[in-house]
Amino acid sequence: MSHPPERFSRTLLARLIQADRFIGWLGQLDFERALVLTSDAWKVAAGGVPPHCFLLAAPVGAEPVEIFLLRVTGAAEVPADPELRAKLETFKGRSPVAGPGGTVEEFQFGLLQCRVLGTFYLQAGQLRLGSDVENYAVAAGWAVHRPGGAALEAIVNYLSPERLAASREEARRLGLAGDLPHFSIGTVRYASTERRRRSEPAGLAEFHLNAVDFLARRTAVLGMTRTGKSNTVKQLVSVVKRTGAGAQLKIGQIIYDLNGEYANANQQDQGSIAGVFPADTVRYRMFPTPGFEVILNNFFRQIAEGHSTLRGLIEGGKLPRSADLEAFLTMDFTEPDKETCSSDYEFQRQAAMFNLKVAAYQALLVRAGYELPAGFKFAFEVQPGIRNKVNPAVDPANGLTAQQAIEWFQLVRQIQDELVTSTGKSWVEPDTNVLINLLLQENDQGGYIPGYRLLQPFKDYHAPNRSTDVCDEIYHHLVNGRIVILDLSVGDPVQRERLSKRIARHILRNSMAAFNAGQHPPHIVIYVEEAHNLVGRHEPLTGIWPTIAKEGAKARLAFVYATQEVSSIHPSILANTENILAMHLNNHHEIGELAKYYDFGDFAASLIRAQDVGFARIKTLSNPFVIPVQINRFDPEQAK
């Protein structure tokens, strides 16, 4: 299917008007509001006129030059102005454009209050929608119709030529070749009670999402619990997936799945994302589970990562501080770099000292009870002079068991004063010395310190079976266009928070680095729920989530956030959110916040009243106004 402007020819303007959907006469119009005279009989013939219904007003008889687009906002009282009343009276006597003729009973008449959404007109053969009305003085007495089917689809999927050009430009920049990808996610829906009309699927107008609106943009999915936010997110994931597949473009998606609903098919939902795209989905959990990768790192292999995790945990906890612990926290486990060493010899010396430090750290982990990876051996080079002083019978380069390594460090400590370099300095460098202190629970003055015991509570953060950094691995999946689901429904909340942030930071850092280096960062869409906790109004804007929300777009990071607490979202993030999909909210405070944006105010009452699942009011970057849509239930079969 192509976009509406292409779907319709020059006579489109006339075609928007469907004669059999006449509902009344335009009584009065100004820049903002319109008054429409209608009758029960006309309304019934056109299928009813629910609140928020789109209406079109056009002159009778002649080919229209312009057509006004209205939205019903409620019923209106008979106006006080005698002139207007007289005019309305004369309209009552006119024969309708189509539909039931004959005399209409006086009591059947009523007035509709409408908002003016804009004016459709043709320019250079293109359908255009101006957001204001110019000629309103002449419009009294124009016929008003309720658009349906193709005409309604043209209205709700309308893209201005400017927006279309901008979208194409954007698509080109994003690497999407061909026509703009867009997908139906639901059908126009006005009222909560629409039993009759919704049972006629042929008459429903499809609402399409333009994928370009979502890539490298911000999207809010708002609504109370169980109003269909997660279902909407699944639709978005599937739209993005299909966009990527259609354009042969890799678009990574990562879902922070707090409730485990995207990872697993359960009884309540028909399908999980993992079930629909099994080959392209990787699931992670915080502890080993069949079918899932673990989110954790192997502390014996990803030294710097593991150490930074420990640092975060210790700094976040209330552990008694000591000089050795402080020194441990500020330790740097960056490997020596050949480029920055003055000579090969210097590099080898630094590498040997680094390996020794790492071995002392690993021995410390072992003593604290961290499980060794299978087949792990301690192996590090020690120059013969030193080696022979420590224990001539043991060469650590040949491989030591954990127990042997710990004993070797004990011996080092016993004769430490004798272990000096050719320049007279201690052979044991300060960091390594601190690690040995912690390993042996003894400070430089010979006093007792808790040492390795401080690391014991964090054993569960270590994954003995993993061979690469989990953040690198996840980023790699995203670069390859995979869907990564972080199932955060199980595991310790503190750990969950830390890992979530660390992964987010890694994604931002890598994508920003690519951007800053003048490369094309990969396309990544990040989905988070309970967003008020992450981008809340009391969060510092420098935190990782606000930074992604604010600046991620540069680095091609799209951010989709779901919450029921609109008022808790940081105002500067909500204000910069290009797409808003709002479902039922239960109080005026939240609605008030939303009503500040676009024409959501028109829907304030219905958003509170109607609790229907998946009944969304949608404003995307492309749509000039809010469109009420019943979002389709995520259908695994169709998505496949």
Ligand X SMILES: Nc1ncnc2c1ncn2[C@@H]1O[C@H](COP(=O)(O)OP(=O)(O)O)[C@@H](O)[C@H]1O
Partner whose binding site includes residue 226, from ligand X, Mg ion, none (CB under 5 to 8 Å by kind):
ligand X
For the CB of residue 483, give the shortest distance to Mg ion in the complex, in Å.
Answer: 17
Which of 227/623 has CB closer to ligand X?
227
Beta strands in 281-380 (DSSP E): 281-285, 293-294
Residue whose C-alpha is closest to residue 218's, from 534, 7, 607: 534
- Give the C-alpha distances (Å, rounded to integers) separating 350 from 222, 353, 560: 55, 5, 46
Near ligand X by CB under 6 A, which window of 39-47, 218-226, 383-391, 587-595? 218-226
Which of 160/564 has CB closer to ligand X?
564
Report residue 254 as tokens: 């990562």
Return d(Cα 80, Cα 387) in angstroms, integer.
104
Return d(Cα 497, Cα 7) in angstroms, integer.
48
In degrees, rounded to 5, the angle at the alpha carbon of residue 86 between the alpha carbons of residues 85 and 88 is 65
Which of 230/563 has CB closer to Mg ion?
230
Partner whose binding site includes residue 231, from Mg ion, ligand X, none (CB under 5 to 8 Å by kind):
ligand X
Partner whose binding site includes residue 244, from ligand X, Mg ion, none (CB under 5 to 8 Å by kind):
none
For the CB of residue 529, give the shortest distance to Mg ion in the complex, in Å.
Answer: 6
For the CB of residue 639, give the shortest distance to Mg ion in the complex, in Å.
Answer: 18
Near ligand X by CB under 6 A, which window of 32-40, 162-170, 353-361, 629-637? 629-637
In degrees, rounded to 5, the angle at the alpha carbon of residue 340 between the alpha carbons of residues 334 and 344 is 105
Which of 229/285 has CB closer to Mg ion?
229
Whose CB is nearest to ligand X?
614
Which of 314/581 has CB closer to ligand X?
581
Which of 366/582 has CB closer to Mg ion?
582
For the CB of residue 626, give the shortest distance to ligand X in the complex, in Å.
Answer: 18
Residue whose C-alpha is closest to residue 628's, from 70, 202, 51: 51
Partner whose binding site includes residue 227, from ligand X, Mg ion, none (CB under 5 to 8 Å by kind):
ligand X
Among 148, 181, 223, 552, binds ligand X (CB under 6 A): 223
Give the strands of the sheet with 281-285, arranged side by side. 206-210, 182-188, 627-631, 615-619, 579-582, 218-222, 557-563, 523-528, 251-257, 483-487, 281-285, 293-294
| Contacts to ligand X from residues 242-301, by CB under 6 A | 268-269
Report residue 555 as tokens: 């680095």
Report residue 219 as tokens: 């999207």
Total residues contacting ligand X by CB under 6 A comes to 15
| Contacts to ligand X from residues 594-623, by CB under 6 A | 613-614
For the CB of residue 578, give the shortest distance to ligand X in the complex, in Å.
Answer: 21
Residue burial 94-106, b: 16+ Cβ < 10 Å; e: rest: eebbbbeeeebee
Return d(Cα 22, Cα 17) in angstroms, integer.
9
Where are the alpha helices (H) located in 248-286, listed in sequence order?
Answer: 273-276
Among 501, 633, 635, 636, binds ligand X (CB under 6 A): 633
Which of 314/631 has CB closer to ligand X?
631
Residue burial 569-597, b: 16+ Cβ < 10 Å; e: rest: bbeebbeebbbbbbbbbeeeebbebbbeb
Kindly list the residues in this chain that would bind Mg ion in the complex (CB under 5 A).
229-230
Partner whose binding site includes residue 432, from Mg ion, ligand X, none (CB under 5 to 8 Å by kind):
none
Partner whose binding site includes residue 252, from Mg ion, ligand X, none (CB under 5 to 8 Å by kind):
none
* Residue 227 in the binding site for ligand X (CB under 6 A): yes
The SS3 call for residue 228 is: coil
Among 99, 118, 228, 244, binds ligand X (CB under 6 A): 228
Helices 344-367 and 303-316, packing angle to 10 deg: 50
Partner whose binding site includes residue 228, from Mg ion, ligand X, none (CB under 5 to 8 Å by kind):
ligand X
Which of 270/547 has CB closer to ligand X?
270
For the CB of residue 530, give the shortest distance to Mg ion in the complex, in Å.
Answer: 9
Which helix (H) or strand (E) segment holds residue 67: the answer is: strand 66-76
Which of 139/222 has CB closer to ligand X?
222
Phi, psi of 222, rounded to the nearest 5 degrees: -115, 145
* Residue 341 in the binding site for ligand X (CB under 6 A): no
Partner whose binding site includes residue 423, from ligand X, Mg ion, none (CB under 5 to 8 Å by kind):
none
Report residue 292 as tokens: 């899932």
Residue burial 9-28, b: 16+ Cβ < 10 Å; e: rest: eeebbeebbbeebbbbbbbb
CA 541, chain centre distance (Å):
17
For the CB of residue 21, give the shortest distance to ligand X in the complex, in Å.
Answer: 27
Among 230, 495, 500, 567, binds ligand X (CB under 6 A): 230
Which of 35/569 has CB closer to ligand X?
569
Tell me if 611 sits within 8 A of 227, measured CB to CB. Answer: yes
Near ligand X by CB under 6 A, which window of 229-237, 367-375, 415-423, 499-507? 229-237
Number of alpha carbons in the 13 Å side-chain half-sphere of residue 264: 16
For the CB of residue 613, give the shortest distance to ligand X in the complex, in Å.
Answer: 4
Strand 627-631 to 615-619 pairing: antiparallel
Which of 126/611 has CB closer to ligand X?
611
Strand 579-582 to 66-76 pairing: unpaired
* Residue 628 in the binding site for ligand X (CB under 6 A): no
Which of 230/281 has CB closer to ligand X?
230
Which of 40/635 has CB closer to ligand X?
635
For the CB of residue 183, give the shortest distance to Mg ion in the complex, in Å.
Answer: 21
For the CB of residue 189, give the shortest distance to ligand X in the complex, in Å.
Answer: 10
For the CB of residue 159, give the shortest distance to Mg ion in the complex, in Å.
Answer: 30
Give the residues lining the site for ligand X (CB under 6 A). Answer: 223, 225-231, 268-269, 613-614, 631-633
